[in-house]
């Protein structure tokens, strides 16, 4: 089983400037995350999600993370609310 702290650490390892909020949405294998990073500038939503999923790939593949709902934002988008 993976913890919220480990998910946050892995995302920040790949996106050091990221502001990350993670919530367990059920059973310890369903998660929701909001990630804000300047690295998302100029990237499509799919590319942004791939950037977040990459450091979690092994945990997704071994089903430690069965579901991951993502909301990705640039700092400017986050400032707009």
pLDDT 10s digits, 28-71: 999 999 999 999 999 999 999 999 999 999 999 999 999 999 99
Q: Inform me whether the pLDDT recorded for 20 exceeds 90.
A: yes
- State whether the Cα torsion 33-1-52-20 is positive or negative: positive
Terminal Cα-to-Cα distance of the chain (whole angstroms): 33
pLDDT at 22: 98
Distance of CA 51 to the CA centre of its chain: 8
| 3-class DSSP state of 23 | strand
In 3D space, the residue among 34, 25, 36, 35 whose CA is nearest the CA of residue 67 turns out to be 25
What domains sit in the chain, N to C, each tagged with a CATH number? 4-80 (3.30.300.90)
Give the pLDDT band (50/70/90) at residue 1: confident
The whole model's pTM is what?
Answer: 0.95
């Amino acid at each position: 089983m993976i913890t919220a702290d480990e998910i946050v650490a892995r995302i920040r390892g790949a996106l050091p400037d990221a502001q990350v909020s993670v919530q367990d949405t059920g059973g310890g294998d369903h998660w929701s995350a909001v990630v804000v990073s300047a690295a998302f500038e100029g990237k499509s939503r799919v590319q942004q999600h791939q950037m977040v999923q990459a450091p979690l790939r092994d945990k997704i593949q071994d089903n430690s993370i069965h579901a991951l709902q993502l909301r990705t934002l640039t700092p400017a988008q986050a400032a707009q609310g």
